Structure 1
């Protein structure tokens, strides 16, 4: 261990367990300064994620204090604040978890240049994924896998890094000003999950006994048998490696979902324009731009019950069942003909787990502009609803106007007898010029 001081810059890795940058730095330096910089460039993007972030920061500070350290909080440009703090505490090194978004990579480039200018050693670490983006490459050439199945085979067969324990002791330099944690912002979803590492670890432990049912039940929309760990993975409150290790079977359906997450990170690392430009070369984009239709979809009043249920769950919880995400996204792009980028923006505003790689990657997959090998596939919302919400309980929960409609009729209220339909305070399906969807016939 060197007698020097180093800074660990936290970003989307708000935990102490299995944190390679923190664990390695604490083992190598006598004094370590955990730092989080509240970047005004990211403020106001989502009230849900801001609240979750602030809760996670409070939990992180508690975890660090229990080990003798603290979380230093600064406001401003992350690069400038990191360099300024390094000067204040006499740090000689900075550690950072590598990320793939355009914003993160720009931050990394600027930080590297400033560290070189101030003679600070910068080291990047893994931790945001199970397998680092770029570590697996297709045998036939290319810098990343474009199709999921061969990536999953390589991912499951690869050697994963070792999980790291939380540091036992963290020592701050004398006299460092730690700063105040931000207050929780108003607004957002009333039923949003609470952020933090302890909540994440408890949620994982409590859910694991249900893992054996995941393959059969995870698409059952009313049953809600998913782990709901995605917001905690997005903010790094729990390590994806730790989740995959505890789940066990690398080929099982749950760990396969973690692999999908890694897949889109390696796609984004090679295609950072994933939120703004079609990934699939030759993709034909002929979108309608109808503000009224987009608003109806956003607010859950399209007249398509399964779609409206999903969008209302999103606004209430800052989260949406994965099957509902596919249905609502397919309805917006393949039926309403709206630009997938509009859907990306709406989801990004509300989702606790919204991040560049997975939000944009999945939207492009559904829209037919991304990594789907069958880009013209569609999702019949009525057929999807009858298969994955057969009793209609999911719809009735989120669309109370239809609470009195029994059985599968709740998925097609436009087919109800006129006298009953007129009693429902629920709109007819949106009319889209030039379309004759089979589910309305």
Structure 2
């Protein structure tokens, strides 16, 4: 046997693709395989926006493979069963895949290893494919993982990274290995209207443009809501159409304060993965419990619906939630303030917000999403768990003239300047002109007092 199977998961690219390069070593034939995992759908982790982006990624990956003489094989079903089936059909003696950190991914890997070994085949799992530094590679003396980002980042920054790999020139696929049709975003219901295209080619174009025109100003402008000065590369990192190792190398070569700030965000991504790898139950349970008795009942449900639909009466919160609905993406500063508003001003369980984000975000990543929500809710790794972001103060600071709000909340488009952030303070005639916009669902002082009582801060 001189055939390998490469199981693509969240590494849908040809550049800097260690499993593929290892599989091709020694002029082997390779079966590039993607399995549409029915268990993911059964667990409720599929979302229309991510399915559409995934379809784009798979089509682009197939195009790149065909340009090199290969093709992508697509199967559906149980991942372990389908990989073993394809390995048998191709008479392959080994399978290569990227490491992952979720409890499900690790269980899947263990099942696959046992099944392949039972057939006399080997499984090779590669680190630093979806992270720059492997989870578990950095540990403090007293624990199996870092619980605070700053000391983790100091160690992370000192780690030597492997070189980024070029894309292979040729990929030879044994035939005939049957494949299902490639998925398509055409006909998918419930897509966000402004959903960006997926695929490695689109990701590399965006990366090149970002390094040329955007990263230099990132340190100063990353919180500018209206300026939209972030990279928007998170969907490509989630699906692996871009390599975090390559991004770190290229940003460091670019240099400067903006590049350093961008690399720090990539380190946050690795940080969350090493937390989830060590504490897989943090995907659903409090990392550090505050014994919250989150609000429930009819009034709480009404507040949740207002938050989801972008009609809380706080314009910057509503603008961010409407951006999420329209694009399947939200500015990072918007994510922080909408999460703080839900968990601390409304005192709603962070899992409610995390679930809603996963239903819409094209970059809906389990580690980043769940642990960022916990960080904001004060049940995660934040060293100031009781901080509350005031949406009005946040709006004044990060959307000073109200351009972001006017872009996403058309009811308030006629309100000039920073007055748009507090429509309840407008004159009677001005308020009448935007009467379709709701009053605040809660007074901020009342929400703060309720949260402080709940956390025993009063």
- Indicate the residue corresponding to 1:4 in structure 2: 2
The answer for the alignment partner of 1:142 in structure 2 is 143
Alignment partner of 1:273 is 2:289: no
| Residue 241 of structure 1 pairs with residue 245 of structure 2 | yes
Deviation at 1:42, TM superposition (A): 2.3
Aligned to 1:14: 12
| Structure 1 partner of 2:206 | 203
Q: 1:313 aligns with which of 323, 331, 338?
A: 323
Q: Distance in 2 between matches of 1:363 and 1:165?
A: 36
Question: Following TM superposition, by how much is the alpha carbon of 1:56 offset from its aligned partner in structure 2, in angstroms?
Answer: 0.3
Residue matched to 1:286: 293
How is 1:39-438 mapped onto 2 (pairs within 5 angstroms)? Answer: 39-43=37-41, 45-126=46-127, 127-138=129-140, 140-184=141-185, 185-209=188-212, 210-248=214-252, 249=255, 252-280=260-288, 282-289=289-296, 290-424=300-434, 425-431=436-442, 435=446, 437=448
Deviation at 1:29, TM superposition (A): 5.2
Query: RMSD of the TM alignment (CA)?
Result: 1.6
- Higher mean alpha-carbon deviation, 111-120 vs 327-336, is at 111-120
Give the 3-state SS of the residue equivalent to 2:25 in structure 1: helix
Q: Work out the CA distance in 1 between the residues paired with 2:121 and 2:163.
A: 28
CA-to-aligned-CA distance 1:93-135 (integer Å, 9 cap, x gap): 1111000012211211111111121111001002000001111
Stretch of structure 1 that moved more, 110-119 or 257-266: 110-119
Q: In 2, are the aligned partners of 1:156 and 1:250 still within 8 Å (CA)?
A: no
Secondary structure, counterpart of 1:123 in structure 2:
strand
User: Structure 2: how far apart are the matches of 1:434 and 1:398?
Assistant: 26
Number of the residue aligned with 2:453: none
C-alpha displacement of 1:437: 4.9
Deviations 1:390-437 (Å, cap 9, x if unpaired)?
Answer: 000000000000000111110000111123212311000003799255
Q: 1:28 to 1:134 in 2, by over 3 A?
A: farther
5+ long unaligned stretches in structure 1: none
Q: Give TM-score scaled by structure 2 length.
A: 0.92
Q: How many residues align?
A: 434
